[in-house]
Structure 1
Amino acid sequence: MEALQLVVKECKPKAKIVDICEKGDAFIREQTGNMYKNAKKKIERGVAFPTCISVNNTVCHFSPLTTDTSELKEGDMVKM
């Protein structure tokens, strides 16, 4: 829920979609980083499903490449 709240707060006109998604992923990694740190065997961990922001007519699960320069505009419909 906190990750969603962070991403919602970042959705402003002229915000780069890739930056918002990266902030969401970074927050999830930070919050889950200490899980299983005392496990007896190494457990692979990471973000299983990256932060996705679909804007306007993009149906679902849009996770931009790092080179994407798309920005939010006033009045955009955003789905997370």
Structure 2
Amino acid sequence: MPEISRFLGIIISMYFDEHNPPHFHVQYNEYRASMDIRNLNITAGSIPAKVRGLVEEWAELHCDELLMMWETKDFHRIQPLV
């Protein structure tokens, strides 16, 4: 699973040939979740509220890029939240 960003102990990744809706995976310590790229809802798993807020902030900044990567499967690193 390609890691596309890492910040503050949070790892963001996407799988190749994944099912719809477009989403990414979040890992933080023992927590795991999948988040819909378009509405940032958690579709599976759970993460702490503070982590979710940071991931939402990051994803809002990179929404178009995330959707493009989902569609093209051309994964690359995305700038972390600073």
Normalised TM-score (structure 1) = 0.31
Q: Which has the higher contact order (CA 8 A, sep 6+)?
A: 1
Which one has the bigger strand percentage? 2
Normalised TM-score (structure 2) = 0.30
Q: Which protein is bigger by CA-based radius of gyration?
A: 1
